[in-house]
């Protein structure tokens, strides 16, 4: 059970870090989403920063199901 908690914490930390990095990217580029629409580049960068957290959530779910006996 400790392994799944650690994996969940890592996944959530990656998600939060990706979101923070995305907003930092927008700040550095001087983009205010309230004033102008995000372009394709911003959406792609946002996806690249946030996606690893979702990948870790999928791995966590598989690990949790395997520990519960649901294969």
Q: Is the pLDDT of residue 27 over 60?
A: yes
Query: Given a cut of 80, is residue 46 above it in pLDDT?
Result: yes
- For 13, the token pair is 């930390």
Query: What is the rounded CA–CA span in Å between residue 20 and residue 28?
Result: 12
What is the domain count for the chain?
Answer: 1
**Chain mean pLDDT for the chain:** 89
User: What is the model's pLDDT at position 1?
Assistant: 56
Say if CB 51 and CB 15 are below 8 A apart. no
Provide the pLDDT for residue 41.
92
Element (H, E) at 49: helix 40-68
47: containing domain = 2-68
pTM: 0.81
| Portion of the chain with pLDDT greater than 90, in percent | 62
pLDDT tens across 49-63, in order?
A: 999 999 999 998 988
């Amino acid at each position: 059970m400790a392994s799944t908690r650690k994996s969940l914490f890592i996944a959530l930390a990656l998600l939060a870090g990706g979101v923070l990095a995305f907003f930092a990217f927008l700040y550095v580029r001087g983009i205010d989403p309230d004033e102008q629409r995000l372009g394709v580049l911003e959406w792609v960068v946002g996806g690249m920063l946030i996606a690893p957290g979702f990948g870790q959530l999928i791995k966590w779910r598989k690990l949790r199901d395997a520990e519960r006996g649901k294969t």
